[in-house]
Structure 1
């Protein structure tokens, strides 16, 4: 073999090795390697395409070589035109081609790609690019995350009112926030890369630079104060600046971080504090606190000017003596003050005394003296140094405070504490002299209405007028006390005849009924008065008050504007009332309350459309107690809240059960005004519906007209929330109260329930017929349903149906019955209705 052949073979092997190496390198390269040719006639072709084109574009080599345009079919529409323009520009200028663009990969979804290539012009006018394409989605995500972090940091810095900045070690700014921009009157872009010398005068710039270097040298936070002017506003402010050196992770100094807080207001407050201290000294003068001292043994007395003003004496050229001062002291206090001063000197204790003096206008003033005695080396008094304060106003205030611990602030009358003391004294006297005492408990009728309608100032005026009239019409030996609110007590001691008390009570009621004028209003008030006697009704305050209170409530029950003596049977009534309330509490605990149900009939379909839940109480010893006997007491005692909650839960539960039995009718539950105003009714209903599974549209709440009329705005909001639950709302006993079309519309009522008093004798009473027809027409005009209760005869059913009433309820169909009986009744009623329906169909 010749040398030439050996060289050719060696070259061939080397080229082959290089090719293999290049191929291996390309295949392991994470991107797509290509050679792309653009002919002069616009034709495109890939001269070379690496196999991992499938990873980048989701296409194989063969398909892109057959049709280069396949690649651009998945380009994001917003990036395609720019990509094409860049190719043409690179072809024309032979500048390197670079593009970042979005691409819809068949498996990866939308990704970001980057293409870099170098163009080469060919002899035939074509251009060939050798380049690579990389998936840069991860980098883009990282950039986006970094950008968001930077934006958050920038937002944070720019919301801080303090000036924040950072400089490099040469004093050039690296960044700053908006507050700092206002200081220099330039944007961050204009500030960065420059130093303080570009923005402030040299003296201030030197000061800033010095503080930077001090922070760097100390290697800790340095603080200083500086007065500067904001270029953006021209405002002068005082800044507290904190500067600290900043280092990288390897401990190399990067620069200085600065934060400056505007402390102008703080400085102003410090100045104000100083001024307040000066004013305090002035206040001491105004408060009439001043100094004095006396020398021994000559007893010469020295005052500052304020003492002369306080004591209201003339300043003389000759120093006054201790005797001159003592002459000013109130005669009854003179000996006490002198003795106490001498005792302090002898016992070497501070001298402290409060005494009176009369000024030249004969006005008594209270003076507080305090002094320390100073002794010489021989333990002899040398001088006394002290203060003097006029405490007249303080003493008068204290006397008022003492007065009002036993008297009412509004009227000045004795309060409960003093009334008890006076009664106890009167009881002792009466027992000794075998006389009686009367305790009158007086309460203003309708006082809350006056307060609510005319305002508290009117209420106060009436209370003061009542107090005045009581004082004018009773003796000085009688005690009049205000207990609070609109309640008064009168103690009449040394009574021999009950008729005298009646005469006094009658006279008081008459006088208290007389009108008074307040703010051009002519107001008259009436009172209810309860009277208890001692020893007949009790021999201590609490017992007599309790019985007078009981009698007063009896007077109120009779219509007010009256008095009532306590009688023992009243105690019995109270005891029975309390026992009845306790029985109701036990009934709740022992489940003695039971729901009965009375069906409601649709007059058009003759089907049971609903039922009213009626509460029954079977007392263990008294048997069934009518609702009218216990419901009012439940309301007055507040137990209606707990009873009402139980009724709602039981009614929803049992209605849900009969739905499962195939009885598709709603349940109507009566709601008390107290439940609506004081109970958490909305939450209770939500819970009852949730636990029972009953649909809200199957629950109907029955409210009386008086509930809706009273406290309208609060009631409106409560009703709206209940209606939003999907419940139905009906008005019970409609026509018996304050019927108003306005509230029917405002409260979104669904049904009117015509009271049985209009129904029971409708066949004979023309007025009732007119009322019932009017109610039905009103309901129809407002799109409401009507139901008549108390229907007891077929004749009434036919009449009501003739007047186009929608539903009826009453003994003609069924009495209220317990759950099992109600379910059985409904099933039989439904079966009977079905037979009638089938019979009619067969007849037709």
Structure 2
């Protein structure tokens, strides 16, 4: 006889029948049973949410209720224990119905015996365990052995159902590794995989046995913290997770210094539905990453307000695309030596029906999150190319730079779209430039390099925008085909002093670019002193409020016909918005 008893729930409202079952189980020669008797439907319904049994013996008739209702409830909550139904009815149709609803077996009461119960219970448990094992394998991350997104969401739904019944709280924690792609790119994907496996193992050891850990994609992990008493409990666990995961990681003869960013959402404060809690934990993670590597952040009222605003902006953006409410403004790029316009950067503005002009700082992050940035980016490219064509018809045209988001670059049709647009508007080589952030280069890798090479061969310029604000910039200069570097305005202006904010950085960037044969554009030039310093450092091209704010296409056209002999356009009021 097995040393460990098999635990069972016997749901039976007839005492005489229960005693018969109890006596039959006690006669077993192979197994020891520990059973609990329930004679009420509502108590049985509550018991299914508990975790103190291995099988269920269920009487089909329970007063005004039937066992069919409990089977359906068990299916909804995805009960992992087998249910064996007993009934005095001899009906093949009922047998078939119960099996379809998830019953593991069907036993007529008049045939109940120790041997029949032994065989039925053992087979039901073994079959259920095998089914569960197969389902677990399908829903497990093959690299780390952790759960995947599907099983994490299932665990969340079950935990939420329990918490609603017991009044307990829980927390959803999102984590991802800071700068993980740099490790993949510099040391190889095999090292990245080993690191993910190590992180998964550390994470599983760090949390409590009652918590559930999953890897839901890439370097992103999730933890479900069940039965939480207070926010301070969550803080203690999260800080422990951060400490453990940030320990030096020995991987493949390398010792990696890593940090994690963490976002947290709480039940029921931040939501009562699994997908809502996951969305808010993800928003908190995004906020955490924006504050710097290695930090954590709870979902807050501020993020809630931003979420609501974002949903409203998303709705309005969809309407704006349909009603063509966008407009391109153009900020002149100036030759500081000749005071002549040498090009423009196209900057999108949103003209709302009430006359408000919305800055891209407000709506572009929302467009990225909801995926509309691809459609908006297509509109910007099309409009800029059409503008080049129109200006060329007037006999006076300058190159236009267009910003491209990382999300656009991942769109499979991006390269074809750009080349088609260039062909449609007969854009001559050198008249269109696309600007990429370092973030775009970080996320895209070798596939992007091939696409950029094809664009460059078609005569389209490639520039890195906001240079110096990302990671591993020098490697990108080596790995990607580039024509220009744009020095981020935070290094040029941004303090009360008239000169350059970070002269050592601007000097280094200019020197590096010159050594590589790349042109440099300084952004955010606001004072004569900044202009003079940049010229001394060897920079020739700039854009900024010293000359012009972004201006409408009509104003830009008029500027093209004006000879720029002095910075008389400085602080022009004809523009709008920010750079």
TM-score of the superposed pair, with normalisation by structure 2? 0.62
Contact kept in structure 1, 2:334 and 2:541, CA below 8 Å? yes
SS, match of residue 445 in structure 1: strand
Which residue in the other structure is 1:819 paired with?
553
Distance 1:756 1:468, change over 3 A: closer
Contact kept in structure 2, 1:442 and 1:527, CA below 8 Å? no
Which residue in the other structure is 1:697 paired with?
430
Contact kept in structure 1, 2:408 and 2:414, CA below 8 Å? yes
Residues 402-442 of structure 1: CA deviation (Å, up to 9, x unaligned): 356479653589864455345434533x3xxxxx3112112
Which residue in the other structure is 2:523 paired with?
789
Which residue in the other structure is 2:382 paired with?
649
Among 428, 447, 453, the alignment partner of 1:720 is 453
Aligned equivalents of 2:566, 2:404: Cα separation in 1? 33
Contact kept in structure 1, 2:406 and 2:443, CA below 8 Å? no
Which residue in the other structure is 2:176 paired with?
445
SS, match of residue 514 in structure 1: helix
Contact kept in structure 2, 1:440 and 1:529, CA below 8 Å? no
Contact kept in structure 1, 2:499 and 2:530, CA below 8 Å? no
Residues 785-835 of structure 1: CA deviation (Å, up to 9, x unaligned): 3333333455554554455433333333333211111111221337999xx
Residues 111-168 of structure 1: CA deviation (Å, up to 9, x unaligned): xxxxxxxxxxxxxxxxxxxxxxxxxxxxxxxxxxxxxxxxxxxxxxxxxxxxxxxxxx
Q: Is 678-687 or 783-792 further displaced after alignment? A: 783-792
Which residue in the other structure is 1:513 paired with?
243
Which residue in the other structure is 1:424 paired with?
161
Q: Is 633-642 or 513-522 further displaced after alignment? A: 513-522
Aligned equivalents of 1:587, 1:712: Cα separation in 2? 33
Residue 193 (structure 2) pairs with residue 491 (structure 1): no
Distance 1:659 1:508, change over 3 A: closer
- Considering only aligned residues, what root-mean-square deviation do their CA atoms show, in Å? 4.6
Among 389, 392, 400, the alignment partner of 1:659 is 392
Aligned equivalents of 2:305, 2:501: Cα separation in 1? 44
Distance 1:730 1:552, change over 3 A: closer
Residues 723-749 of structure 1: CA deviation (Å, up to 9, x unaligned): 111112233333444575554354342
SS, match of residue 170 in structure 2: strand
Among 312, 327, 337, the alignment partner of 1:579 is 312
Residue 402 (structure 2) pairs with residue 672 (structure 1): no
Mapping of residues 306-345 of structure 1, within 5 Å: none
- Give the CA deviation at 1:650: 0.7
Contact kept in structure 1, 2:146 and 2:215, CA below 8 Å? no
- Give the CA deviation at 1:784: 3.0
SS, match of residue 615 in structure 1: strand
SS, match of residue 327 in structure 2: strand
Mapping of residues 207-222 of structure 1, within 5 Å: none
Residue 233 (structure 2) pairs with residue 503 (structure 1): yes
Aligned equivalents of 1:531, 1:780: Cα separation in 2? 49
Aligned equivalents of 1:411, 1:444: Cα separation in 2? 14
Residues 470-522 of structure 1: CA deviation (Å, up to 9, x unaligned): 335xxxxxx533465222323317x5xx3xx5236414642673368887787
Distance 1:467 1:605, change over 3 A: closer
Residues 622-641 of structure 1: CA deviation (Å, up to 9, x unaligned): 71122222223323333221
Residues 161-187 of structure 1: CA deviation (Å, up to 9, x unaligned): xxxxxxxxxxxxxxxxxxxxxxxxxxx
Which residue in the other structure is 1:470 paired with?
207
Which residue in the other structure is 2:61 paired with?
none
Aligned equivalents of 1:557, 1:771: Cα separation in 2? 23
Question: Which runs of 5 or more structure 2 residues have no equivalent in the other structure?
Answer: 1-26, 34-104, 106-114, 568-579
Which residue in the other structure is 1:459 paired with?
196
- Give the CA deviation at 1:770: 4.7
Greater strand proportion: 1
Aligned equivalents of 2:197, 2:489: Cα separation in 1? 45
Which residue in the other structure is 1:345 paired with?
none
Which residue in the other structure is 1:754 paired with?
487
Which residue in the other structure is 1:375 paired with?
none
Mapping of residues 28-39 of structure 1, within 5 Å: none
Aligned equivalents of 2:32, 2:240: Cα separation in 1? 49
Mapping of residues 16-35 of structure 1, within 5 Å: none
Distance 1:622 1:720, change over 3 A: same
Contact kept in structure 2, 1:441 and 1:549, CA below 8 Å? no
Contact kept in structure 1, 2:332 and 2:345, CA below 8 Å? yes
Aligned equivalents of 2:417, 2:132: Cα separation in 1? 51
- Give the CA deviation at 1:594: 0.7
SS, match of residue 829 in structure 1: coil
Distance 1:642 1:367, change over 3 A: same
Which residue in the other structure is 1:35 paired with?
none
Contact kept in structure 1, 2:491 and 2:500, CA below 8 Å? no
Distance 1:402 1:671, change over 3 A: closer
Distance 1:596 1:412, change over 3 A: closer
Which residue in the other structure is 1:80 paired with?
none
Contact kept in structure 2, 1:609 and 1:664, CA below 8 Å? no
Distance 1:660 1:605, change over 3 A: farther
Contact kept in structure 2, 1:759 and 1:791, CA below 8 Å? yes
Distance 1:740 1:455, change over 3 A: closer
SS, match of residue 611 in structure 1: strand
Distance 1:330 1:539, change over 3 A: same
Which residue in the other structure is 2:541 paired with?
807
Highest CA radius of gyration, 1 or 2?
A: 1
- Give the CA deviation at 1:586: 1.8
Aligned equivalents of 1:737, 1:556: Cα separation in 2? 13
Residue 327 (structure 2) pairs with residue 588 (structure 1): no
Residues 332-369 of structure 1: CA deviation (Å, up to 9, x unaligned): 99xxxxxxxxxxxxxxxxxxxx9xxxxxxxxx9x9999
Which residue in the other structure is 1:399 paired with?
129
Residue 353 (structure 2) pairs with residue 620 (structure 1): yes
TM-score of the superposed pair, with normalisation by structure 1? 0.44
Residues 380-409 of structure 1: CA deviation (Å, up to 9, x unaligned): xxxxxxxxxxxx999846523235647965
- Give the CA deviation at 1:656: 1.4
Aligned equivalents of 1:584, 1:769: Cα separation in 2? 40
- Give the CA deviation at 1:762: 12
- Give the CA deviation at 1:704: 2.9
Aligned equivalents of 2:299, 2:549: Cα separation in 1? 44
Residues 211-231 of structure 1: CA deviation (Å, up to 9, x unaligned): xxxxxxxxxxxxxxxxxxxxx
Aligned equivalents of 2:266, 2:417: Cα separation in 1? 45
Aligned equivalents of 2:271, 2:442: Cα separation in 1? 44
Aligned equivalents of 1:832, 1:557: Cα separation in 2? 40
- Give the CA deviation at 1:663: 0.8
- Give the CA deviation at 1:695: 1.2
- Give the CA deviation at 1:595: 0.9
Aligned equivalents of 1:423, 1:558: Cα separation in 2? 30
Which residue in the other structure is 1:528 paired with?
262
Contact kept in structure 2, 1:610 and 1:665, CA below 8 Å? yes
